[in-house]
Amino acid sequence: MQNLQDFRFANPIYETLWNRDRVESVQITVAETLGREGRAGYSEEAGALRDMGQNHLTQLLALTAMEIPGAFEADAIRHEKVKVLRSVAPVTPGDVVLGQYTRGQIEGQDVPGYREEAGVAPDSRVETFVAVKVQVANWRWHGVPFYLRTGKRLPRRVTQVAVTFRCPPVSVFQPFDACEIHSNVLVLTLQPDEGFDLHFEVKMPGQPLTLQTQRLHFRYAEAFAPLPDAYETLLLDIVAGDQTLFVRADEVEAAWRLYTPLLEPPPVHSYPAGTWGPSAAEGLPAQEGHRWCVPEARSGHERQ
């Protein structure tokens, strides 16, 4: 999360593009391969919306969409995060898809369905996956959809933010059938294998004229050393008295205002373990002509 802030505010080339004029959509994914792993009692009471949606996903939304703070200090940053959450338009049940994993395979291993986990009711309707479409109704982001999703028993563990930029308004390559232009996409991988990937179009050698998507690639572990565990960082911040990464009471309240109307949840769709969630979740970005980005095995993402 700190790297996300530094990337935005230390690189004007991206900050000048970080708005509704240049950005088409934003996707935030927090995926886990684990199931309930002995926490079924808590899971049966909470579910993915309470457990991950209103905190982890919402924190990443706020950090991605916030304005530049007046100073790089805890209160200034938290002021801006609260402003983002208060600008989010009300989320309706039609903007949410919930899911629950069934038996499937992850990395070649058979895994049980959620209802087969110890301590889970055989008729449980608790969600293990949630996808939400939100709109940040402020000057910077008006009209730009933010797609958020998190789930258990997904194909791989990854947390990433994918920013899709708008295509050129007019394509000069229309006479060339093989020259379909794809959007530039900036992928910020927060864990594991932290780093950035910028996907862009290049001309393939030879004739006829053909464009291909390539990427610029950066990884912290390659340039420096593996980053410390998240809890190590938080414990060090506690010792140092740095509250930047800790939420404030009004921030928590603003997040719950968004999700409280959804606590009477819509139907829960099933999805096999080892997939990217229920097929109904594809409908959220499809409404705007978009698709979910599919994270690669190690880093970055690939288009469907």
Tell me what pLDDT residue 181 has.
73
Mean pLDDT of the chain: 85
pLDDT beyond 70 at 8 = yes
What lies within 8 Å, CB to CB, of 207 at 6+ separation is: none
pLDDT in tens, 154-164: 999 999 999 99
* pTM over cut 0.85: yes
pLDDT beyond 80 at 241 = yes
pLDDT beyond 50 at 304 = no
Contact between 146 and 125 (Cβ < 8 Å):
no
Q: What own/partner pairs with CB < 8 Å and gap ≥ 24 does 78-84 have?
A: 78/243, 78/244, 78/247, 78/248, 78/251, 81/251, 82/248, 82/250, 82/251, 82/254, 83/138, 84/136, 84/138
Catalytic residue of the set 56, 79, 217, 269: 56
Tell me what pLDDT residue 174 has.
62
**Residue with structure tokens 């001309």?**
203
Domains and their CATH numbers in the chain: 2-276 (3.30.360.10)
Tell me what pLDDT residue 170 has.
67
Would residue 56 show up in a list of annotated catalytic residues for this protein? yes
Tell me what pLDDT residue 303 has.
39
pLDDT beyond 60 at 300 = no
pLDDT tier, 298 (very low <50, low <70, confident <90, very high otherwise): low
Q: How remote is the C-alpha of 175 from its chain's centroid?
A: 36
pLDDT in tens, 189-236: 988 888 899 988 788 787 777 777 888 899 888 888 777 777 787 888
Share of the chain above pLDDT 70, in %: 90
Tell me what pLDDT residue 1 has.
66
pLDDT beyond 50 at 301 = no
